[in-house]
Structure 1
Amino acid sequence: MKQEYIGVDKKIISSLKAAQMEAPTRIQQAVLERLEEHKDENLLAASKTGSGKTLAYVIPILNRLLEDETHTALAILPTRELALQTVEVFKTTIKNILPKPKRGLHAVAVVGGLFVEKQLRLLSKHPHIVVATPGRLNQLLQENEMMRAQIENTKTLVLDEADRLFEHRCFPDLKPVCKALPSQLQILVFSATLHMRDGNKNTVSFLWNLKNVFSREFHVIDLSPPNTVAGNITHLVAITKHEHKSAALLFFISQKHGRKLVFTNSIGTAKRLSRALSLLGQSTVCLHGKMLQKNRLAKLDELREREDISVVCTDLAARGLDIKDIVAVVNYHCPATARTYIHRVGRTARAGACGTVLDILSGEETETHEKIQKELSITAEQLSLPAMETAAGIAALSENIAEREEHARDELAEMKLSDLRRLLEKNKNRLHKTLSSFVLKRETQDTPAVAGVERNSSEKTLAALQKLKDDSKAFEKRQNDKARTGPGH
């Protein structure tokens, strides 16, 4: 039987079909059918990554807003990237159904890493939809009455990636927000990883927390398969020495056209590997959890614009990031658990497409990998590396990459010092003027002894800054000398 957008306004349906979404996905249809029969019911929905969960709550919320202009919604997600993605889905859909939206029919993001003042200005327009992360939401709740009023007026609450929201990192910020919510509201909870039929301890803990916080019952829609990955994925494995991992990675990504995700277990490795691959002629970007928000967004824009690129990342990108058409996922480091493995490989083979997963293992990782494969019922084929069948071939390529990695490390250090030097140069005159003015002011107000101490402190500060600048120049000179002499001199 053909799936249909049951109970959805015609303007929304037209918008979805114009975006090539002719019919709802399973999770979307299940949610829409239930809400058509039980409009205000609380739902707990579980469905695999890439199944269309975001639109499963965007559609009913917008449908409700077209019926009732006083309706308001708050969607909470565990990371900035997920929240910003989600607010864009709301905005795009609103724009398509209402080219000139009525006053207030807007979605705004309340997330960390962006200016508080701008977010407060957006909140002052009384938006119908707020998409937020727990940390910034709780911060504004404690500091701003406008945010408190917005939360207290919420009529639909969405908790997306809910299992993560109830983990120790997010829950301390989520709990006071939940307490500030009105008693009469609808709650829609979504996750990819509950696996409620399995009765595992993570699910039990999550359900207990959910019931404890909200003291209400939820209708469960469980479309999550047992602990498995998509069936349309080709699994490959390359077992090699730790120092040969980069060689195997380079060979694989150079043969695979399209967008690839390469997962590492540390930020340092992600940075160095990304730079090294770039120096070897590969198109790469690096994503990790300590990037400035504006830099992270710029990188995401870059990779979405390019069809053949490798994204070297930590597990930041493993949950929910909307990077379309990922043809392959590479585990440069083996994940510690089957759950992490599922989230990583769930980035490929989405919406019926095929994908490839390569696990590059050193000897100490094989035991963990075998346990994961057994738990998930996966059988991986050995990756054939024709260009590196001999030890000499592997060693030669690995040495080449190691040399580039060393150069990348030096370049990263030089970049940091160069940035600092430019900053010092830019602000030195202003700093000197400020410090001098401060000393003169204190000389007119304080005793000569106090003023002398202030002048001495200021001079020491300037001397320290100058030394830092000189050190960075010395480092640059050493690097230039090294480059001129070359190896063996």
Structure 2
Amino acid sequence: MKARKGGRFRSSFKLKQKGIEVIGKWKTVEIDPNLFAEEEFRNIVCLEELTDYRQVSSSKVGKLKEKRKAESISEEGNEEEEEEPVISHKKKKKTKDLRSKTDKSDDTAAAEFDVPVDREAKCNEIIELVDDEDHGPVADSVSSAKDAPKKKKKKVAKNKASQAQEALLSVPTSKKVKNWTTEVLSASTDRKADVSAWKDLFVPEPVLQALSYLGFSAPTPIQALALPSAIRDNMDVLGAAETGSGKTLAFAIPMIHSVLQWQKSNSSTTRNDSVSKDSHQHHDETSWENEDEAEKLTHQQAEDSGDEDDASFTTGCVKVLENFEFDSDDKTHTVSSHKKTPLLGLVLTPTRELAVQVKHHIDAVAKFTGIKTAIIVGGMAAQKQERVLNRKPEIVIATPGRLWELVKERHPHLSNLRQLRCLVIDEADRMVEKGHFLELSQLLEILNDSQYNPQRQTFVFSATLTLVHQTPTRVLQKKNAKKMDKKTKLELLMEKIGIKGKPKVIDLTRKEATVETLTETRIHCNTNEKDYYLYYFLLQYPGRTMVFANSIDCVKRLSSLLTILNCDPLPLHANMHQKQRLKNLERFAERESCVLLTTDVAARGLDIPNVQHVIHYQVPRTSELYVHRSGRTARAANEGLSLLLIGPDDLINFRKIYKTLEKSEELPFFPVETKCMTSIKERMNLARQIEKAEFFNSRAKQHNSWLQQAAEALEIDLDDDMLMGKKKN
């Protein structure tokens, strides 16, 4: 337990120095152990409260006594003295949450387009808007964005008693929405579903309970075919199924089953319900005999508390211990057995966002098992992720780059990769592509050497696992050239990944590779006309729309243009900070009508609810990317629309995709009402001029700032003609 005062951490175990003498004992607060599976409480060992204590008359307390009138007030004030810094920390956190909620509500209101149902009336409205207002709204949108006053943060104040009560009452309540996956996973939590259809698939009982809680009454085809082979027969699985078909649970459930089997065979008591009850009993019998040792432990915890999530805290007279590890030499602290838990399951994904999504899906179905999971991705603090691994999670979800860094640093929990029980490679065709993920090939060398666990299961999944490109004739004419087919592709994939036995191969993809509920359309236009048709579509068809581009520069340019046109776009690309990327995904999932501008970093695997439209602003370079991009909509039997904007530069890629996917019919042309286009072009051209001026001004400021700093360092004077924007050369 820690308390912060004056910027320093002080031990609260030395209670006599703080004017309180413990008369009674710390008493355990009875809480349902299953609730410790919730994400906010996953690292709490126990909750204890102290009610029987009295004031000590020491020299320090004597000074406090003179300032206070009554003994009861002094006890209350002494309690506040310890609690005050923690409460301020809580207020900051609550204010931050409140601010994010208000921002979300404001963003939602700003994102809605006022679009009438009558298309012809809408066209006339656009024309009148441009002709009558003389481009006023566009120019005003720029100035209003700059001049808009910032909202003041609301302060939330609560007394100590209400905070203590809230800390206990908050345990059984539902979690705050933290990412876009929560909406998907909590959609059916109001009613418990009948899961009898899952019982024939050998699903463990705790997982059945979670599936019922989530409302998953029946398995999808890929799950029904994969689970018996993986759980009962312990086979490796190669699965190819359409996007949105439930591939994550097809490998998550067998992995959870494998971990539960290991715990059962090794009599592991880690994070089970029995552990929670036993740990409470041990706490009742255990007392701190050495205060210096307790203070040393507190300071060690203080050093690890750089992150909000890892800090221990006090609420009233409730003691909460987080990230606590008992001394293994003490026989009474039997919970230390979790230190011996090895890494049992590893999931490798190509993108950070997909790793976050997979983690939340696994956590949802492992809700009642007590299994710990961790996410290891780039863009986040490496020290925090090392601390996460120190908790010995049974399952790790990672991207290859950051995982390889920690393996090279010889982190103890990653020293036993060869003894994994489950290895999953999600979106495998992308992961093993030549020239991508060098770290993955290095990881696979370690995983597949002679010392690997012969009982390890390997799961390989992708929507385009069996998609084969037609080999060009010039390549086939070369010596030793092989014609690529599905069998050859799978054999090469198995060789790279290291699958040595005969796996279960499941291929549920259609010949066209895209789902039946997807409507595919196209528009042929010049490159400079793509902006017009994009803006036309967003005005005429509001809803959740993902716009894909091939480059980060294109995403940035479109983001500036659509911001000027009041479309309120959300960008997503690899150069953004990871927290901002996840925040934009969360906002996109919350708003009814919104635009997400993204590169192919969001093309694979992301299950964002109710995406109605996908626009390929630039035609993707490969057929796989086209299938995965289009798969962000029309998921789980819902309908969706995919629109290709095809310019002269995109024709080659379009023909390759069309040939590879073996489309039986030509893609229909998207209908465009030409009477709207004149007004659309006027608005877009004006927005382009504003965007160009803003871009030049920002670049000029950066250039001039650099020149002025260099001139000051060299102690020379600058001429005006050397500054951008001052004088034209």
Q: TM-score, normalised by structure 2?
A: 0.54
Q: 2:258 maps to what in 1?
A: 64
Determine if the alignment matches structure 1 residue 255 to structure 2 residue 540.
Answer: yes
Give, in whole Å, the separation in 2 of the partners of 1:157 and 1:28.
17
Residue 264 of structure 1 aligns with an amino acid whose one-letter code is A
Q: Within 5 A, what are the aligned runs for 1:34-49?
A: 34-39=229-234, 41-49=235-243
Q: Larger deviation: 14-23 or 340-349?
A: 14-23
Give, in whole Å, the separation in 1 of the partners of 2:404 and 2:228.
33
What is the root-mean-square deviation in Å for CA atoms of aligned residues? 3.4
Q: 1:53 maps to what in 2?
A: 247
CA separation of 1:279 and 1:378: change in aligned 2, threshold 3 A: farther
Q: Over residues 425-483 of structure 1, what are the superposed CA-to-partner deviations in whole Å (9 max), with x where a residue is unaligned?
A: xxxxxxxxxxxxxxxxxxxxxxxxxxxxxxxxxx9696279999x99xx77x87xxxxx
Query: How far is 1:326 from its partner?
Result: 0.9
Determine if the alignment matches structure 1 residue 289 to structure 2 residue 594.
Answer: no
- Larger radius of gyration between Structure 1 and Structure 2: 2
Q: 2:458 maps to what in 1?
A: 187
CA separation of 1:197 and 1:242: change in aligned 2, threshold 3 A: closer
- Does the 8 Å CA contact 2:376/2:397 hold for their aligned counterparts? yes
Give, in whole Å, the separation in 1 of the partners of 2:715 and 2:516.
59
Give, in whole Å, the separation in 2 of the partners of 1:295 and 1:466.
41
Give, in whole Å, the separation in 1 of the partners of 2:715 and 2:424.
50
Residue 37 of structure 1 aligns with an amino acid whose one-letter code is R
Give, in whole Å, the separation in 2 of the partners of 1:64 and 1:194.
25
CA separation of 1:404 and 1:169: change in aligned 2, threshold 3 A: same
Q: Larger deviation: 227-236 or 362-371?
A: 362-371
Determine if the alignment matches structure 1 residue 208 to structure 2 residue 492.
Answer: yes
Query: How far is 1:73 from its partner?
Result: 0.5
Give, in whole Å, the separation in 2 of the partners of 1:124 and 1:177.
21
Q: Within 5 A, what are the aligned runs for 1:465-480?
A: none
Q: Larger deviation: 223-232 or 265-274?
A: 223-232
Q: Within 5 A, what are the aligned runs for 1:59-458?
A: 59-69=253-263, 72-94=344-366, 96-98=367-369, 101=370, 105-181=371-447, 182-184=452-454, 185-195=456-466, 200=484, 204-205=488-489, 207-214=491-498, 216-217=500-501, 218-366=503-651, 368-370=653-655, 372-373=657-658, 375-386=662-673, 388-389=674-675, 394-411=677-694
Q: Larger deviation: 26-35 or 68-77?
A: 68-77
SS in 2 for 1:397: helix
Query: How far is 1:52 from its partner?
Result: 0.7
Q: 2:217 maps to what in 1?
A: 22
Q: TM-score, normalised by structure 1?
A: 0.78
Q: Over residues 282-339 of structure 1, what are the superposed CA-to-partner deviations in whole Å (9 max), with x where a residue is unaligned?
A: 1311112222212211211211121211111122211112222110111112223333
Gaps of 5+ in 1: 425-458, 479-489
Greater relative CO, 1 or 2 (CA 8 Å, sep 6+):
2
Give, in whole Å, the separation in 1 of the partners of 2:540 and 2:715.
48
Give, in whole Å, the separation in 2 of the partners of 1:466 and 1:376.
67
Structure 1 or 2: more helix by fraction? 1
Residue 210 of structure 1 aligns with an amino acid whose one-letter code is M
SS in 1 for 2:206: helix
Give, in whole Å, the separation in 1 of the partners of 2:712 and 2:530.
46
SS in 2 for 1:307: coil
Residue 61 of structure 1 aligns with an amino acid whose one-letter code is M
Query: How far is 1:37 from its partner?
Result: 3.0
Residue 220 of structure 2 aligns with an amino acid whose one-letter code is T
Give, in whole Å, the separation in 2 of the partners of 1:373 and 1:167.
21
Give, in whole Å, the separation in 2 of the partners of 1:137 and 1:344.
26
Q: Over residues 22-55 of structure 1, what are the superposed CA-to-partner deviations in whole Å (9 max), with x where a residue is unaligned?
A: 111111111112124303x222122122111111
- Does the 8 Å CA contact 1:156/1:187 hold for their aligned counterparts? yes
Give, in whole Å, the separation in 2 of the partners of 1:358 and 1:352.
19
Q: Over residues 335-382 of structure 1, what are the superposed CA-to-partner deviations in whole Å (9 max), with x where a residue is unaligned?
A: 233332212111111100111111222345346435534533343332
Number of residue pairs the alignment of both structures matches: 430
Residue 466 of structure 2 aligns with an amino acid whose one-letter code is H
- Does the 8 Å CA contact 2:536/2:677 hold for their aligned counterparts? no
CA separation of 1:252 and 1:125: change in aligned 2, threshold 3 A: same
Query: How far is 1:413 from its partner?
Result: 6.1
The equivalent position to 1:8 in structure 2, one of 165, 186, 203, is: 203
Q: Over residues 51-86 of structure 1, what are the superposed CA-to-partner deviations in whole Å (9 max), with x where a residue is unaligned?
A: 111111111222333343267111111121211211
Q: Larger deviation: 231-240 or 362-371?
A: 362-371
Q: Larger deviation: 365-374 or 165-174?
A: 365-374
Identity of aligned residues (%): 31
Q: Over residues 407-435 of structure 1, what are the superposed CA-to-partner deviations in whole Å (9 max), with x where a residue is unaligned?
A: 2344456568889999x9xxxxxxxxxxx
CA separation of 1:294 and 1:415: change in aligned 2, threshold 3 A: farther
Give, in whole Å, the separation in 2 of the partners of 1:240 and 1:86.
39
CA separation of 1:259 and 1:33: change in aligned 2, threshold 3 A: same
Give, in whole Å, the separation in 1 of the partners of 2:617 and 2:232.
47
Give, in whole Å, the separation in 2 of the partners of 1:420 and 1:394.
38
Give, in whole Å, the separation in 2 of the partners of 1:85 and 1:467.
55
Give, in whole Å, the separation in 2 of the partners of 1:58 and 1:465.
64
Give, in whole Å, the separation in 2 of the partners of 1:421 and 1:305.
41
Give, in whole Å, the separation in 2 of the partners of 1:410 and 1:298.
29
Q: Over residues 108-128 of structure 1, what are the superposed CA-to-partner deviations in whole Å (9 max), with x where a residue is unaligned?
A: 111111111111111111110
Q: Larger deviation: 261-270 or 9-18?
A: 9-18
SS in 2 for 1:358: strand
Q: Larger deviation: 408-417 or 372-381?
A: 408-417
Give, in whole Å, the separation in 1 of the partners of 2:530 and 2:499.
50
SS in 1 for 2:415: helix
Give, in whole Å, the separation in 1 of the partners of 2:570 and 2:261.
44
SS in 2 for 1:376: coil
Residue 212 of structure 2 aligns with an amino acid whose one-letter code is K
SS in 2 for 1:97: coil
Residue 323 of structure 1 aligns with an amino acid whose one-letter code is I
SS in 2 for 1:68: helix
CA separation of 1:75 and 1:379: change in aligned 2, threshold 3 A: same
Q: 2:99 maps to what in 1?
A: none
Query: How far is 1:210 from its partner?
Result: 2.5
Give, in whole Å, the separation in 2 of the partners of 1:283 and 1:335.
24
SS in 1 for 2:657: helix
Give, in whole Å, the separation in 2 of the partners of 1:174 and 1:4.
34
Q: 1:31 maps to what in 2?
A: 226
SS in 2 for 1:130: strand
Gaps of 5+ in 2: 1-195, 264-340, 470-482
Residue 216 of structure 1 aligns with an amino acid whose one-letter code is K
Give, in whole Å, the separation in 1 of the partners of 2:543 and 2:716.
47
SS in 1 for 2:612: strand
CA separation of 1:170 and 1:236: change in aligned 2, threshold 3 A: closer
